[in-house]
Structure 1
Amino acid sequence: MENAKTLFANRLREAMVAAGFEPKPAVLEREFNTRYWGKPMTLHGVRRWLRGETLPTHEKLLVLAEWLAVPPQQLNFGDEIQRKVEARRGRWDSGIGYQDRDIFEAFLKLPVPQRKLIREVILTFAKAHSATDSKSSPAV
C-alpha cells in the first residue's frame, strides 16, 4: 500500500495537469511562491512534495488547493475518504425514522454516566442478537 506522502504527490501532479500546468518542480515553485505570502519554497522543497518525500503544512496545502481549484481535503486525502463518509452518512440517514431520531436526541441529552450505561445495554443486546443470528443461519 502506498503511503500518504506518495498518494499526496500523485494527487498533486494530477491536479497540476488538470489545471493546465506541467507537474515539474520549477513550475510548482514559481506558481506556489507567487501566491504564498510566507517564506518562499525552494526548488528542492517543492520537488520533495512532487516525489512524495514530504507533505506541505496545512497553510501551504490551502494555497495549493486554491491555486489548483481543488478542495483541500481532496488534495490531502483524495476522493475515497469523501465517498466513504457520504456512504456512511447516507446509510445512517436512510435507515433511521423519526422515532429513532427522537431516541438519539434524548440519548445525547443524558449525562455521560447514563449514556455509558445505555451504550453498554445496546451493545449487549446487539452482541446477543448477532450470536443468535449466527446460530440460526445454516452453514454453507
Structure 2
Amino acid sequence: MENAKKKFAERLRKAMEAAGYEPKPAVLEREFNTRFWGDPMTLHGVRRWLRGETLPSQEKLLVLAEWLEVPPQELSFGEDALKRVEQRRARWDSGIGYQDRELFEAFLKLPVPQRKLVREVILTFAKVHVTEPAQKRLKKPE
C-alpha cells in the first residue's frame, strides 16, 4: 500500500506540472479547495498527498482529476493500468462476433440461479478442454 501512495503522489505532481501548476502544497490546497464543496483540505492534508503518505477519498480524487483534466483511473492507478484495461477490452471486442454477443446478452437476461448453472457448465467444459490435449500428449503411441 505504501508503494501505491508513493506512486499516486508522483502521478499527482506530474499532473499538476502538466496542467501548469507548481506541485506545492499551498498551490494544491488553494486550487483544490476552490473546487471542492465539502470540508476544505488543510495544508497538512494536501502535503500528505504530495508526499505519498495518504490517498484522497474517491470523491476528492474525482475533483482532482477534473481540475487537472486527467482521467480519475489514470490518476489513481497510472497510465499503464489504464492501457492494460483498454487492451483487454479491445481484445474482448475484437475476439467475439455478433452470435457470441447475442449469447452473452441472453445469458445476462437469465435469472441468477440459471446463470450460475450455465456458468458451471461452461467452466466444466473449459476444464475438460484444457486437460484433453495434455492427456493426449501423455499417451504413448501403441
TM-score (norm 1): 0.84
Equivalent position of 1:93 in the other structure:
93
2: CA distance, partners of 1:37 / 1:109: 40
Q: How many positions carry a matched residue from both structures?
A: 138
- Please provide the CA RMSD for this pair: 2.1
SS in 2 for 1:93: helix
Gaps of 5+ in 2: none
Deviation at residue 10 of structure 1 after TM alignment: 0.9
Does 8-17 or 54-63 show the bigger shift?
54-63
Whether the 8 Å contact between 2:2 and 2:52 is mirrored in structure 1 is no
Q: d(CA) in 2 for partners of 1:89 and 1:137?
A: 34
Runs of 5+ unmatched residues, structure 1: none
Q: Using the TM superposition, give the Cα deviation of residue 44 of structure 1 relative to its aligned residue in structure 2, in angstroms.
A: 1.0
CA deviations over 1:46-68 (Å, ceiling 9, x no partner): 11000111111223222222221
Does structure 1 residue 22 correspond to structure 2 residue 6? Answer: no
| Consecutive aligned runs of 4 or more in structure 1 exceeding 3 Å deviation | 135-138
Q: Distance in 1 between matches of 2:36 and 2:110?
A: 47
Alignment of 1:67-86 (within 5 A): 67-86=67-86
> Cα–Cα, structure 1 residues 109 and 42, in superposed 2: closer, same or farther, change >3 Å?
closer
Counterpart residue identity of residue 49, structure 1: W
Q: Measure the CA separation in 2 of the matches of 1:137 and 1:17.
A: 57
Which residue does 1:121 correspond to in 2?
A: 121
1:113 is paired with a residue whose SS is helix
1:86-115, CA deviations, whole angstroms, 9 ceiling, x for partnerless residues? 222212211112222222222222222222
Q: Measure, in 1, the Cα distance between the counterparts of 2:77 and 2:49.
A: 14
Give the match's secondary structure for 2:56: coil
> Closer, same or farther in 2 for the Cα pair 1:27/1:94, shift >3 Å?
same
Change (3 A) 1:87 1:40: same
Distance in 2 between residues matched to 1:36 and 1:74, nearest whole Å:
20
